[in-house]
A and B are shown apart, each in its own frame.
Chain A
Amino acid sequence: MTRQEFKICFNQYFDAIRRYLVYRGADTELATDIAQDVFMKLWEKKLEFEEGRTKSLLYKMASDAFVSHFRKAQVAAKYEQSLELKVESNDPHKQLEYEEVHGQYLIAMSIMGEKQREVFLMNRIEEMTYREIAKRLDLSVKAVEKRMSQAIGLLRERLIKK
């Protein structure tokens, strides 16, 4: 991997990897640190750059680093990240409604299991297809669908409660 290839690789995948770590349960600072470590390691490995394989490797490395961090720290990852709401409406009523939904949504995310959450957020924020998620997380598409159903189920539950 040349310096140039590495730069391209970084620009292409850094954000996705860092957010992926947040979906898993890392806080934003930790996610940044782990993502940076992962890219440093990738550079030090001096591997050949292959689009698909390198991307898979990055997710794998990020996941391993995340797991290893919490194993070392001997605490379970607890999702308490605020995902910032970027929707704005001219209608103050509508805006208020969105903010309320957002609050419920965040609670749902913190309650949701890690496996369901990562699949759900990758699908919604990263706009990754089930097939792609399956590939990145080394799962079957069926497994992804199942986790999605569980995630949606939990969200609908919160929705009805409200």
Chain B
Amino acid sequence: MSTNQHIKDEHKLPEDWEKVARHSEPQFSRSKDDVWNDMVAQIHEQPKESKVIQLRWFKYAAAAVVLLLSTTAFLRFYTESVSIPAGLHGSVSLPDGSTVELNAATELSFHPFWWQFDRSVKMEGEAFFNVKKGSSFLVLSKNGTTTVLGTSFNVNSREDGYTVFCKSGKVSVQHETSEVVITYNESAQLKANGELEKRTDANGSEFIGWIDNQFIFNAKSLRDVTREIELQYDIDLNIVEDDVADWKFTGAFNRSDDVKETLEVISISMGLKFEQNSDRSYSVRKQNH
């Protein structure tokens, strides 16, 4: 009794009663350890559960994002390509109603579903564009980029050459850092030094006569002329003597004419003769040989 300092003297009970009071305790069916283990199980469960929910939510979000991205990517990158082989011409309508005339041996591609955000086409070869007015319209080629708003123009990007002729409106032509702006009946040509040269004395039909099957040459080397003939008729045309390739030709041919007729006309005017080696192979040489 003397040890019970927490009990005020006046609140002390007879000894038996004190003993009973201090040694009567509630008894529990579940031990402290049972409760602890139960709690640990709950604590472990909870984050697991929320993780599952999070994952489920995340899964849907991820699926939505993937779907959105793949749809966007599809619309963005879906590409329509047109390839015109040698010997043929073609024409393409773009989503906004702009039209493209494609010369022989020309490839053109664009993204039809992305057209309203980005009017750009890739083109290698030669093509004449009639562009509806609107946001800027880009023609991307290996040898240069041509930017317009709404106009008609011809782009020739073959081998190392790059020539743009503007039939109407205003056209910006770029090659690396060089840029020129050309307007009606002007042309821009990529020179050997990598600069673009603007020419104002251009004869339109020289650049875009091909649309009407007219191929007009103004002091062009026979090398260029034979290359054009090869493309238009899909033949091999071999110049036998090397020096002849540099001869300048001024004149024209019509693609609707037979290849032999065309070769005949050009040969005669240049003092050359041509012969057929096989079905699609011809050669030209000096007449006196």
Contacts and interface: CB of A to CB of B under 8 A. Distances in A.
A39 B39 contact: yes
B21 A124 contact: yes
B17 A105 contact: yes
Nearest to A103: B20
B26 A35 contact: no
Contact of B11 (A10, A28, A40, A152): A152
Interface in B21-55: 21-30, 32, 35-36, 38-39, 42-43
Among A31, A86, A145, residue most surrounded by chain B Cβ atoms (within 10 Å): A86
B11 A148 contact: yes
A83 B35 contact: no
Interface residues of A, number: 44
B63 interface: no
A81 B26 contact: yes
B13 interface: yes
A58 interface: no
Interface string A70-96: 000000000001011111000000000
B8 interface: yes
A130 B36 CA distance: 30
Contacts of B29: 28-29, 32
A87 B7 CA distance: 20
A125 B19 CA distance: 10
B17 A84 contact: no
Given A19-B25, A84-B24, A85-B24, A14 B35 contact: yes
A31 B24 CA distance: 17
B16 interface: yes
A14 to B, nearest CB: 5
B289 interface: no
Contacts of B26: 19, 22, 28, 31, 81, 83-84
Among B4, B18, B28, B42, residue most surrounded by chain A Cβ atoms (within 10 Å): B28
Contact of A145 (B8, B21, B36): B8
Given A19-B26, A148-B11, A129 B35 contact: no
Contacts of B19: 87, 98
B39 A18 contact: no
A50 interface: no
Contacts of A36: 35, 38-39
Given A129-B6, A152-B13, A84 B20 contact: no
A100 to B, nearest CB: 9
A155 B13 contact: yes
Contacts of B271: none
B13 A156 contact: yes
B13 A86 contact: no
Contact of B20 (A98, A145, A156): A98
Nearest to B18: A124
A152 B8 CA distance: 11
A149 interface: yes
Nearest to B26: A22
Contacts of A105: 17, 20-21, 24
Contacts of A83: 24-26
| A-B residue pairs, 7 tightest by C-beta | A83-B24, A22-B26, A86-B23, A87-B23, A129-B6, A124-B21, A101-B20
Interface of B: 4-8, 10-11, 13-14, 16-30, 32, 35-36, 38-39, 42-43
Given A83-B26, A128-B6, 5 more contacts: A11-B32, A40-B43, A85-B20, A123-B7, A124-B7
